[in-house]
Amino acid sequence: MLFGKNSHEFTWKGVKYLLWVYFASLLFAAVVTGPVFTLFKWVAAETNWELFVYLVDGRSFDDFFDRLRMIPIVAGLPWLLVACGLFSFANLGVKFNREQLVRFAIWFGVGVVILTVVIAAQFAFGNVGMRQNATLYRWSTVLLAATASGVAVALVEEIVFRGLVFRIFYTAVRPITAIVLSSLFFAYVHFKVPDVAAGVLEHSSEWWMGLYTAFWMLFGITVNFSWMAFLNLFVFGVLLCLIFLRTRSLLACMGLHAGVVWLRLSYIKLFDVSGHPMQRLLGSGKVIDGLFPLIVLTGVCVYLVVSKPRAEECVHTSSRKCKTR
């Protein structure tokens, strides 16, 4: 519980703080994305530097917008963490000791296994082929860049969504409701600019593109809403909340999240996942957007709910399952 509240006291103060930071991030990205996007494309074209080529290859204006809006979120985190009484790694549930790093590695492997099951189904029944430019150098570059991206995304998103957002809702409402609300928010913010707006962004370099993107970041879900994608993201958020409650460790959540992001980024860069008749069942290149991935994620959630914690997990939790062992 935050703000010095006990388990029987609730407050929506943290939710108000969260909304301030969220809207400030959209305004920041609306202003700076245009110049940054133009600069990166120019450097990639003029120097052919592998890093910049990788950063702009296949990425649109709204992709850059999505990354840049994380800057004010990260910059605002210290204030928000202080306000919520979480301005320490220990309070967040992040401890960089051997035990926790091993836990990160284990859950990283779990994330890779979960996504591997889905990818294997796409290989078996979908239309997947290796890209022609997938040389050894390309493989090593992509895998290294995907590792850095996976760890960075997992670090930021888990501190924000499980370390902060989930605990903010946990202080405002009952635990189950907090899991649902934080996971709904997690799914909502992952819905990007709809196709009708993406087409404009792809062929335009006007000054208002940032504001245009910010508008569709807020309301794009009303245009390109997909129940299957939303449910997959929602259940993935639920899974990460359950891992956090089960382990009391953000590093465990970061591990699973990083493993999923690492394999997904590597997969779509090295393999061509074209549309196939079973896409609604198996998912597309996004991987976690089909019925089968939803079933896999739900199965892992059910396992975490019904299985008994190990003895070492009981040291960090006060759950009823631990008390009755």
Residue 159 lies inside a defined structural domain of this protein: yes
Residue 1 lies inside a defined structural domain of this protein: no
Q: Nearest to residue 217, comparing CAs of 63, 324, 38?
A: 63
Residue 25 lies inside a defined structural domain of this protein: yes
- What backbone phi and psi angles, to 5 degrees, belong to 274? -80, 165
Residue 2 lies inside a defined structural domain of this protein: no
Q: Which domain holds residue 224?
A: 13-323
Residue 6 lies inside a defined structural domain of this protein: no
Q: What are the Cα distances from residue 161, in Å, to 28, 197, 248, 254? A: 20, 27, 14, 11
Residue 19 lies inside a defined structural domain of this protein: yes
Tell me the sheet residues that pair with 129. Answer: 272
Residue 316 lies inside a defined structural domain of this protein: yes
Q: What string of pLDDT tens digits covers the 325 residues of the chain?
A: 676 677 777 888 888 888 888 888 889 988 888 888 778 877 887 887 777 777 777 677 777 787 788 788 778 778 888 888 787 777 777 777 888 899 999 999 999 999 999 999 888 887 777 777 767 888 888 899 999 999 999 998 898 899 889 999 999 888 899 999 999 999 998 876 665 565 666 555 566 778 888 888 788 777 777 888 899 999 999 999 999 999 888 999 999 999 999 999 999 888 887 766 677 888 887 788 889 999 999 999 999 999 876 645 554 444 445 543 3
Total domains in the chain come to 1
Residue 5 lies inside a defined structural domain of this protein: no
- What backbone phi and psi angles, to 5 degrees, belong to 130? -70, 140
- Is there a contact between 281 and 291 (Cβ–Cβ < 8 Å)? yes
